[in-house]
């Protein structure tokens, strides 16, 4: 219980920092450190521990199986809504906050042994989806076509993905540098949660009916669809719990920011991120309890 309370405290610290005279790009600076330092160090430590079996592969496959399901449901949900609303939900619903929120919460709810699976889901699932699918959605709804060069650039120059591929081939890091990597990796959880709290803003001028449906789909329906798929495969319980929880993470902050910057229903996009983070603090522990009771 204490680690979960610590998660809430760190989020609250980030919210309180909004009232200070912190620089305008404070959250951006924290995110740069996470992306270029904390996440690569975590990747180098945790990924070599993963055994590439069916359980590990399932954490990669499940987000891609859920993507067309989510896409189709969003198309049905938004058939009577403007194009910018459809574009916003197509961007923020499939893409979850599987690293900044996913890593600290899953580490708290399941334990450190789950982090390797989290990284596989995040990098080969969520990140690739952001780079490929997310970029395609933005390009299509902004200018009517897909920029393949932009997508490839995002993929090749994202540091955690580069280090993930490196760690899969290189294996366990030398003992001489492992303590230093551990120190750098330990910064991920507190900095990520403070950054999320600092970025947490709620707006009111939205369609609450559509928002409610979208949040239910993102935080409840998708993880239970994931559980139904994975339960039949009979995979490792930790890998299953990670995949299900990652499927039920709130919308990615980056996806929300991109939707807002592209003019895709800014109020709705911000609300999906903001309300999703708050509500997931209740839904994710309940999902873990339900899974463990069932299993």
The per-residue pLDDT for range 57-108, each reduced to its tens digit, is 888 899 999 999 999 999 999 999 999 999 999 999 999 988 878 888 898 8
pLDDT of residue 3: 63
**Closest CA relative to residue 281, chosen from 243, 245, 254:** 245
- 37-69: per-residue pLDDT in tens? 887 888 888 778 776 777 788 888 999 999 999
pLDDT value at 159 more than 80: no
Whether CATH 1.20.1530.20 fits 26-190+207-294: yes
Instruction: Average the pLDDT over 165-188 and give the result.
Output: 86
Mean residue pLDDT of the chain comes to: 84
> How many CB atoms are located within 10 Å of the residue 155 CB?
16
Q: Are 163 and 43 in contact (CB under 8 A)?
A: yes
pLDDT value at 115 more than 70: yes
pLDDT of residue 247: 95
Q: Which residues contact 83 (CB under 8 A, 6 or more apart)?
A: 141
- pTM to 2 decimal places: 0.79
Q: Which has more pLDDT, 250 or 170?
A: 250
């Amino acid at each position: 219980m204490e680690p979960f309370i610590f998660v809430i405290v760190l989020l609250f610290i980030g919210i309180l920092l909004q009232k200070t005279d912190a620089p305008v790009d404070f959250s951006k600076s924290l995110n740069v450190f996470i992306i270029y330092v904390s996440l690569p160090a975590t990747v180098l430590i945790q990924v070599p521990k993963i055994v590439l079996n069916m359980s590990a592969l399932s954490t990669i496959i499940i987000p891609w199986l859920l993507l067309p399901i989510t896409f189709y449901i969003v198309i049905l949900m938004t058939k009577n809504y403007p194009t910018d609303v459809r574009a916003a939900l197509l961007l923020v619903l499939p893409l979850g906050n599987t690293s900044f929120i996913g890593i600290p919460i899953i580490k708290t709810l399941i334990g450190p042994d789950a982090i390797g699976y989290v990284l596989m889901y995040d990098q080969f699932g969520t990140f690739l989806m952001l780079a490929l699918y997310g970029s395609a959605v933005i390009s299509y709804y902004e200018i009517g076509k897909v920029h393949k060069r932009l997508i490839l650039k995002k993929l090749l120059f994202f540091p955690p993905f580069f280090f993930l591929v490196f760690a899969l081939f290189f294996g366990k890091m030398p003992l001489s540098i492992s303590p230093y990597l551990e120190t750098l990796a330990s910064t991920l959880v507190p900095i990520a949660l403070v950054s999320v709290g600092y970025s947490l803003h709620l707006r009111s001028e939205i369609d609450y009916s559509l928002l409610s449906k979208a949040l239910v789909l993102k935080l409840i329906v998708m993880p239970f669809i994931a559980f139904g798929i994975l339960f039949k495969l009979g995979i490792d319980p930790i890998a299953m719990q990670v995949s299900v929880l990652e499927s039920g993470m709130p919308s990615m902050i980056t996806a929300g920011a991109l939707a807002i910057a592209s003019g895709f229903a800014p109020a709705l996009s911000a609300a999906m991120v903001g309300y999703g983070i708050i509500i997931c603090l209740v839904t994710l522990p309940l999902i873990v309890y339900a899974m463990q009771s069932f299993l």
